[in-house]
Amino acid sequence: MENTLHIIGGGLAGSEAAFQAAEAGVQVILHEMRPKVETFAHQSGDFAEMVCSNSFRSDDSEQNAVGLLHWEMREANGLIMRMAGEHRLPAGGALAVDREAFARGVSEVIRNHPNITIEEGEITELPTDGNWIIATGPLTSGALGESIARETGAESLAFFDAIAPIVYFDSVNMDVAWMQSRYDKGATEEEQKAYLNCPMTKDQYEGFIDALLEADKAEFHEGETAKYFDGCLPIEVMAERGRETLRFGPMKPVGLTNEHDPENKAYAVVQLRRDNTLGTLYNIVGFQTKMKYGAQQDVFRMIPGLEDASFARLGGIHRNTFMNSPTLLDDQMRLKSRPNLRFAGQITGVEGYVESAAMGLLAGRLAAAEIQGKTLETPPLNSAMGALIHHITGGADAKTFQPMNVNFGLFQPVDGLKGGRRGRKDRYKAYTDRAKEAWSAWLNS
């Protein structure tokens, strides 16, 4: 059975890897521990479940690196992007989805694929023989995590992330809040009114910051060594960095006009993004938190418009397992010490749904090619996929390695390090044009 590819983990990365390899004609066995063994964050037995936000972020493939990654995945017949398109919700320029319908859609394709077999159950040890992709994600089960740590010699594979709360729409006071996307972004009126906005005066903002700083926070046994990823800082940690930090971050008031009081500019604005097709749930954008549940309700109800908010889910903190890929993986995503094992997804030190799925896509294609005796080069550095894989398998400084989102900083500069004379828009367009050409050439190679 050496032509079989085993994949551990049917998340964003594992599902995409399975689909890509199966489409290439390889027999895939997908091992998934849910629903037999649960994680604290997943709610279903579906594949590719999005555990927190329902957004794949910007869909702009000309001006945004993650939008470019969407484009590259679509060009490569990516299952995650196809399903995201089928279950898309209005969200301004972002690609947001109905998460349940999306995961069900991915599961249906995976379960019905003639080249994919599902095996339910937890894998507790790194396998010794055969071709494997390990895509067990940030919540890799404890036993497997220990086995990986033993093989890689790492003291620890974990750090911490936080998730944002979700509010019932019908509990929001629409006499105070209003619907608008920042700068009215979006092609249709629905897109231009995709977000719920809650305005704050200066006094309300100052009171809110005081409450955040004073609120009870959850304690962790591992707390002393807890490290946060900068892109997912809890709001109270942001507030500790400076009273104005939130007003220049998730609570920035720019590009928004309060329809109840158009003459007065809000001092700060809290935005909520639609979380399901029905429009009954909204998540508070950027409000990941480690406040205790009781404190969260008190503090979030201080937000004008959310005085009587009911919460479908409160925020929380979670473990994030990732490895030191720059020292451990080769540029084909194989473990240097055991090249029959590939790694993909968030465990490799990329951050986010899109990046994880992208690394699944790549691992699936690379593994399939190897099994079929073909040579598939690592994607070119100028593509988004290539920039990301290069970063995690050698470009990043191994000593300070932290999970990474795709961004133009990972690309070779188009105009030299100083950015040349072009404006930012032109420069980003040059990056994305160059990337599209490179990616198309790689796909056709």
Ligand X SMILES: Cc1cc2nc3c(=O)[nH]c(=O)nc-3n(C[C@H](O)[C@H](O)[C@H](O)COP(=O)(O)OP(=O)(O)OC[C@H]3O[C@@H](n4cnc5c(N)ncnc54)[C@H](O)[C@@H]3O)c2cc1C
Closer by beta carbon to ligand X, 205 or else 353: 353
Identify which range of 108-116, 135-143, 166-174, 302-310 contacts ligand X by CB under 6 A.
Answer: 135-143
The CA–CA distances, whole Å, from 39 to 36, 74, 107 equal 10, 30, 18
Among 58, 192, 296, 356, interactor with ligand X by CB under 6 A: 356
Closer by beta carbon to ligand X, 391 or else 427: 391
| Beta carbon of residue 107, minimum distance to ligand X (angstroms, whole number) | 11
Considering the rule CB under 6 A, would residue 159 count as an interface residue with ligand X? no
| Beta carbon of residue 58, minimum distance to ligand X (angstroms, whole number) | 12
Considering the rule CB under 6 A, would residue 318 count as an interface residue with ligand X? yes
Identify which range of 137-145, 260-268, 335-343, 412-420 contacts ligand X by CB under 6 A.
Answer: 137-145
| Beta carbon of residue 415, minimum distance to ligand X (angstroms, whole number) | 30
Quickly count: other Cβ atoms within 10 Å of residue 117's Cβ: 16
| Beta carbon of residue 383, minimum distance to ligand X (angstroms, whole number) | 20
Instruction: State how far the Cα of 198 lies from the Cα of 177, in Å rounded to an integer.
Output: 5
Considering the rule CB under 6 A, would residue 8 count as an interface residue with ligand X? yes
Is residue 141 within 8 Å of 122, Cβ to Cβ?
A: yes
Closer by beta carbon to ligand X, 103 or else 414: 103
Q: Name residue 112's amino acid.
A: N
42 DSSP β-pair partners: none
Considering the rule CB under 6 A, would residue 289 count as an interface residue with ligand X? no
Between residue 26 and residue 85, which ones bind ligand X under the rule CB under 6 A? 31-34, 39, 41-42, 51-53
Considering the rule CB under 6 A, would residue 363 count as an interface residue with ligand X? no
Give burial (CB, 10 Å; 0-12/13-18/19+) of 245.
middle
Instruction: State how far the Cα of 97 lies from the Cα of 273, in Å rounded to an integer.
Output: 11
Is residue 299 within 8 Å of 212, Cβ to Cβ?
A: yes
| Beta carbon of residue 129, minimum distance to ligand X (angstroms, whole number) | 17
Among 140, 197, 296, 332, interactor with ligand X by CB under 6 A: 140
| Closest-CA residue to 384 (of 18, 15, 79, 64) | 64
Backbone angles phi, psi at 239, to 5 degrees: -65, -35
The residue written with tokens 């006009």 in the block is 257
Angle between helices 65-75 and 424-443 (to 10 degrees): 20
Size of the site for ligand X (CB under 6 A): 36
Residues 6+ positions from 370 with CB-CB distance below 8 Å: 131, 332, 376
Instruction: State how far the Cα of 127 lies from the Cα of 256, in Å rounded to an integer.
Output: 53
Identify which range of 129-137, 252-260, 328-336, 369-377 contacts ligand X by CB under 6 A.
Answer: 129-137
Say whether 228 sits in a helix, a strand or coil.
strand
Is residue 173 within 8 Å of 305, Cβ to Cβ?
A: yes
| Beta carbon of residue 320, minimum distance to ligand X (angstroms, whole number) | 6
Q: Closest CB to ligand X belongs to which residue? A: 11
Among 73, 163, 212, 435, interactor with ligand X by CB under 6 A: 163
Considering the rule CB under 6 A, would residue 345 count as an interface residue with ligand X? yes
Instruction: State how far the Cα of 59 lies from the Cα of 86, in Å rounded to an integer.
Output: 14
Among 144, 177, 246, 384, interactor with ligand X by CB under 6 A: 144
What residue ranges bind ligand X (CB under 6 A)? 8-14, 31-34, 39, 41-42, 51-53, 122-123, 135-141, 144, 161, 163, 318, 345-347, 352-353, 356
